[in-house]
């Protein structure tokens, strides 16, 4: 019943719907994608349903219904012919269906929508949900009050027209508590689309771009037919694309990469070991080859006639045989082919090319026994219980083309199976084979990158760069508040009234700062003094209108130019802190992070006493190309993540104490000068510099 969408609007709707199909296919928790408190994955998806909110209806596995109306662009308007009015009609009409399973009514849009929708309304609705009352509206500033009045009047009018009755405060609250605004920048080439492709990269064994394009086109067909989709149908439809998932645990990221196994090689060990005098004497090998240039290739059966494993392995490289002889291992494989592959490798030739290999076979029976079958089944059980593709040795994410599938079988660890980075192999690891990543190598430069952690952390992070990116200069200072003391939880905060009737709270790392009463009063006195001085000097203290950067007018104009308006601060005051206000005005969970950096030989990459960090993993290749152009060549590295602000602050303080300067998104010019980046300084460092300047003056 809504306004007909444009082609761009249809494309946006298809892309969002395609992403939720992928989420259902891989059982992604809904709360990892939407800001909903619902611990469940997707059970059904209905396209262009007969419900009042009809674009997309998701039913969770705990049978809660999530309704989505999608608008690529939308403005806040009370006009009956407007898209916003139409969306509100659908939300009210759905509420009047009185379905007890209704959980959320979501307006899905993009950043192309007005700020009143994408930012202000989204925050107001969240604040109302948290407070579970309209008392929080008393705390709204002028613009927030205007936005709230508009949606309040629209819903009241729609309800009256539909029922002939005035809406009660209780019903209005119920409707607004179910109403959400979600932002997806998922159009071609946009940031969220890149995240989707990166997520698919480790999940499928076909070209990511083709698969994503196919999912978008499939959504159009599903919407035209008004179909309902379930996971069983998806598994069957995509079994050719996802054949590595077949008959495996659908949550098993490891199985999704290496494939499903019916059996593993468990009977024998093939080991390479360094020369040993006892072995020479036992097999009369003493005079054949010089002791320093000899390796043993020994074939060993693992189980005796009663199923006992008598070979004793000890980390990192020892094997004790049944006769008590202790060997120092070089390599351990489940197959002869695996040993041959290792002997032909560069790693072997670099160390042992001048060595001769002496083969020692086994005289034990080659007959199969039931204990091998039991051990095989146990390993397969462990393998299918794996929930992710983390390295079994170092614990970091696997994101490289060839990894190793190993069995962990030694006296130091419990029996297990998993994949590891090649460089994490230790000689007692029993190599079962090579684990091949999918063929699409578009993101191969993201070595060992943990995409799942990144998706989880980026959702409510990196807020500070939104403002920093609009500054006129390419090299920007980034002053970091490194105070990690979470014990200071004062009961007061500081609010500043602006000339347009709105107000802003003093924040730290994007969230309302909390003070003791005395500290709040001292800070207010300081701010009011600055406001007064600015007025006298005709250089008023202001907030910028879009990025909300705080400073005097002259400084803001020099930094931002004419890109924004500057709203003068009139007065600051102390107010009591409460969680509802915080939820309304807090911007993010992490202000600076997540960030990535490079690790070489288990240490962070340092370039000329600088620590490079990066905000966008998908752009890492461009930074590496820039480094190479100025003769900074980086080959063997891993990509690590700084996941939260606390870790970030501790990391930079440690490095800066060593004289190392962190720089985010750094690029170099032809003469190795810095031409782009956020140069990190601590607040304490800047205060010391200021004090030194004051002393000189």
How far apart CA 514 and CA 597 sit, in angstroms, is 32
How far apart CA 442 and CA 457 sit, in angstroms, is 22
Look at residue 191 and tell me if it is in a domain: yes
Q: What is the pLDDT of residues 148-197, one digit of tens each?
A: 999 999 999 999 999 999 999 999 999 999 999 999 989 988 878 888 88
Best-predicted range by mean pLDDT among 17-26, 499-508, 635-644? 17-26
Look at residue 589 and tell me if it is in a domain: no
The answer on 228 and 291 residing in a single domain is no
Take residue 593 and report the two structure tokens written for it.
Answer: 């992070």
Q: Give Cα 229 distance to the centre of its chain.
A: 27
Task: Over range 652-657, report the average pLDDT.
Answer: 92
Cα distances (Å, whole numbers) of residue 672 to 513, 615, 675: 40, 21, 9
Do the beta carbons of residue 290 and residue 358 sit within 8 Å?
A: no
Q: Three-class SS string for 41-56?
A: CEEEEEECCCCCCCCE
Do the beta carbons of residue 630 and residue 672 sit within 8 Å?
A: yes
Do the beta carbons of residue 492 and residue 574 sit within 8 Å?
A: yes
Take residue 275 and report the two structure tokens written for it.
Answer: 């020369």
How far apart CA 380 and CA 357 sit, in angstroms, is 33
Residue 238, pLDDT score: 80
Residue 60, pLDDT score: 95
Please give the DSSP secondary-structure letter assigned to residue 87. H
In the sheet that holds 56-60, the strands lie side by side as 179-183, 102-109, 65-70, 56-60, 42-47, 228-230
| Confidence bin at 249 (pLDDT 50/70/90) | very low
Q: What is the pLDDT of residues 393-441, one digit of tens each?
A: 887 777 666 789 999 999 888 888 988 988 899 999 999 988 765 544 5
β strands within 601-648, DSSP E: 603-604, 610-613, 638-642
Task: Over range 358-379, report the average pLDDT.
Answer: 77
The answer on 107 and 210 residing in a single domain is yes
The answer on 263 and 179 residing in a single domain is no
How far apart CA 234 and CA 26 sit, in angstroms, is 10
The answer on 303 and 394 residing in a single domain is yes
The answer on 253 and 204 residing in a single domain is no
Residue 371, pLDDT score: 75
How far apart CA 35 and CA 39 sit, in angstroms, is 11
The answer on 261 and 232 residing in a single domain is no
315 beta partners:
none
Residue among 61, 70, 55 nearest 29 (CA)? 61
Containing structural domain, residue 87: 7-237
Look at residue 473 and tell me if it is in a domain: no
How far apart CA 385 and CA 692 sit, in angstroms, is 60
The answer on 347 and 445 residing in a single domain is yes
The answer on 259 and 221 residing in a single domain is no
Residue 602, pLDDT score: 85
Higher pLDDT, 376 or 168: 168
The answer on 56 and 156 residing in a single domain is yes
The answer on 172 and 202 residing in a single domain is yes
Residue 517, pLDDT score: 93
Look at residue 399 and tell me if it is in a domain: yes
Look at residue 197 and tell me if it is in a domain: yes
- Residues near 26 by beta carbon (within 8 Å), at least 6 away in sequence: 203, 250
Please give the DSSP secondary-structure letter assigned to residue 307. S
Residue 440, pLDDT score: 44
How far apart CA 477 and CA 474 sit, in angstroms, is 10
- Burial class of residue 351, CB neighbours in 10 A (0-12, 13-18, 19+): exposed
Residue 241, pLDDT score: 65
- Asked which of 98-102, 279-283, 324-328, 334-338 is least confident by mean pLDDT, the reply is 279-283
How many domains does the structure of the chain reveal? 4
Residue among 380, 395, 408, 507 nearest 448 (CA)? 395
β strands within 315-446, DSSP E: 318-320, 326-333, 356-360, 402-408, 416-420, 430-436
Pick the last residue of a domain from 543, 576, 609: 576
Residue among 599, 588, 596 nearest 615 (CA)? 596
Do the beta carbons of residue 391 and residue 424 sit within 8 Å?
A: yes
Look at residue 590 and tell me if it is in a domain: no
How far apart CA 367 and CA 363 sit, in angstroms, is 12
Take residue 116 and report the two structure tokens written for it.
Answer: 């009143």
Higher pLDDT, 451 or 369: 451
Task: Over range 258-281, report the average pLDDT.
Answer: 81
- Asked which of 101-105, 121-125, 141-145, 396-400 is least confident by mean pLDDT, the reply is 396-400
The answer on 371 and 331 residing in a single domain is yes
Q: What is the DSSP string of 8-21?
A: HHHHHHHHHHHHHH
Residue 325, pLDDT score: 92
| Confidence bin at 553 (pLDDT 50/70/90) | very high
State percent of the chain over pLDDT 90.
46
The answer on 115 and 257 residing in a single domain is no
Q: What angle do CA 413, 417, 418 make, to 5 degrees?
A: 115
Pick the last residue of a domain from 545, 576, 607: 576
Pick the last residue of a domain from 508, 543, 576: 576
Do the beta carbons of residue 437 and residue 403 sit within 8 Å?
A: yes
Average pLDDT, the chain: 85
What angle, 0 to 180 degrees and rounded to 10, lies between the N-to-C axes of helices 122-131 and 142-163?
80
Best-predicted range by mean pLDDT among 54-68, 288-302, 391-405? 54-68
How far apart CA 642 and CA 652 sit, in angstroms, is 11
Look at residue 162 and tell me if it is in a domain: yes
Q: How far apart are the first and last CA of the chain?
A: 70
Task: Over range 436-463, report the average pLDDT.
Answer: 72
Q: Three-class SS string for 527-580?
A: HHHHHHHHHHCCCCEEEECCCCCEEEHHHHHHHHCCCCCEEEEEEEEEEECCHH
Take residue 289 and report the two structure tokens written for it.
Answer: 């080859």
Look at residue 536 and tell me if it is in a domain: yes
In the sheet that holds 638-642, the strands lie side by side as 603-604, 595-600, 638-642
| Confidence bin at 248 (pLDDT 50/70/90) | very low
Residue among 10, 6, 7, 45 nearest 25 (CA)? 45
């Amino acid at each position: 019943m809504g306004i007909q969408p444009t082609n761009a609007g249809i494309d946006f709707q298809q892309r969002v719907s395609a992403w939720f199909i992928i989420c259902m296919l891989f059982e992604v928790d809904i709360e990892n994608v939407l800001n909903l408190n619902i611990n469940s994955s997707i059970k059904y998806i209905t396209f262009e349903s007969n419900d009042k909110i009809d674009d997309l209806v998701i039913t969770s596995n705990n049978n809660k219904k999530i309704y989505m109306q999608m608008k690529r662009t939308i403005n806040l308007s009370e006009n009956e012919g407007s898209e916003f009015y139409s969306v509100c009609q659908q939300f009210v009409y759905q509420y009047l269906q009185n379905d007890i399973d209704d959980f959320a009514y979501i307006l899905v849009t993009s950043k192309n929508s007005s700020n009143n929708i994408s930012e202000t309304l989204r925050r107001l609705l969240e604040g109302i949900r948290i407070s579970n009352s309209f008392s929080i509206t008393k705390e709204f500033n002028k613009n927030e009050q205007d936005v709230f009045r508009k949606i309040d009047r629209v819903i009241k009018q729609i309800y009256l027209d539909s029922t002939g009755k005035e809406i009660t405060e209780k019903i209005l609250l119920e409707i607004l508590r179910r109403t959400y605004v979600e932002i997806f920048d998922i159009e071609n080439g946009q940031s969220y689309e890149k995240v989707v492709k990166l997520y698919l990269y480790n999940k499928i064994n076909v070209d990511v771009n083709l698969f994503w394009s196919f999912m978008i086109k499939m959504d159009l067909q599903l919407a035209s037919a008004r179909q309902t989709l379930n996971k069983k149908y998806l598994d069957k439809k995509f079994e050719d694309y996802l054949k590595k998932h077949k008959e495996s645990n659908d949550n098993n990221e490891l199985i999704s990469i290496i494939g499903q196994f019916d059996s593993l090689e468990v009977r024998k060990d093939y080991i390479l070991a360094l020369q040993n005098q006892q072995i020479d004497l036992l097999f009369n090998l003493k005079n054949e080859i010089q002791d320093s240039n000899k390796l043993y290739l020994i074939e060993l059966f693992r189980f005796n006639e009663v199923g006992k494993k008598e070979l004793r392995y000890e980390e990192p490289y020892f094997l004790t045989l049944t006769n008590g002889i202790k060997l120092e291992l070089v390599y351990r494989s489940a197959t002869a082919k695996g040993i041959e592959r290792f002997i032909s490798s560069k790693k072997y030739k670099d160390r042992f090319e001048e060595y001769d290999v002496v083969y020692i076979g086994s005289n034990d029976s080659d007959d199969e026994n039931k204990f091998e079958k039991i051990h095989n089944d146990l390993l397969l059980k462990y393998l299918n219980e794996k929930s992710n593709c983390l390295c079994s040795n170092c614990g970091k994410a696997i994101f490289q083309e060839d990894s190793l599938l190993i069995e962990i079988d030694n006296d130091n660890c419990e029996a297990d199976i998993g994949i590891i980075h090649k460089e994490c192999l230790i000689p007692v690891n029993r190599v079962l084979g090579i684990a091949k990543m999918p063929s699409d190598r578009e993101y191969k430069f993201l070595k060992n990158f943990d995409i799942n952690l990144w998706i989880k952390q980026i959702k409510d992070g990196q807020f500070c760069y939104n403002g920093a990116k609009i500054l006129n200069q390419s090299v920007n200072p980034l002053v970091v508040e490194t105070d990690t003391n979470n014990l200071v939880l004062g009961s007061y905060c500081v609010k500043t009234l602006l000339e347009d009737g709105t107000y802003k709270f003093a924040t730290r790392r994007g969230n309302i700062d909390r003070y003791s009463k005395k500290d709040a009063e001292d800070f207010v006195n300081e701010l009011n003094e600055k406001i007064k001085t600015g007025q006298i000097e005709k250089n008023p203290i202001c907030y910028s209108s879009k990025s909300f950067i705080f400073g005097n007018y002259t400084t803001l104009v020099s930094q931002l130019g004419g890109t924004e308006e500057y709203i003068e601060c009139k007065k600051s005051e102390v107010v009591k802190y409460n969680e509802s206000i915080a939820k309304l005005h807090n911007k993010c969970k992490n202000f600076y992070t997540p960030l990535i950096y490079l690790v070489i030989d288990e240490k962070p990459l340092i370039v000329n006493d600088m620590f490079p960090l990066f905000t966008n993993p998908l752009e890492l290749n461009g930074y590496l190309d820039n480094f190479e152009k100025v003769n900074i060549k980086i080959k063997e590295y891993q990509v690590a993540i700084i996941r939260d602000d606390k870790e970030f602050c501790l990391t930079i303080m440690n490095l800066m104490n060593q004289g190392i300067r962190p720089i985010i998104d750094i690029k170099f010019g032809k003469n190795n000068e810095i031409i782009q980046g956020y140069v990190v300084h601590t607040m304490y460092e800047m205060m010391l510099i200021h004090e030194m300047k004051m002393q000189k003056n």
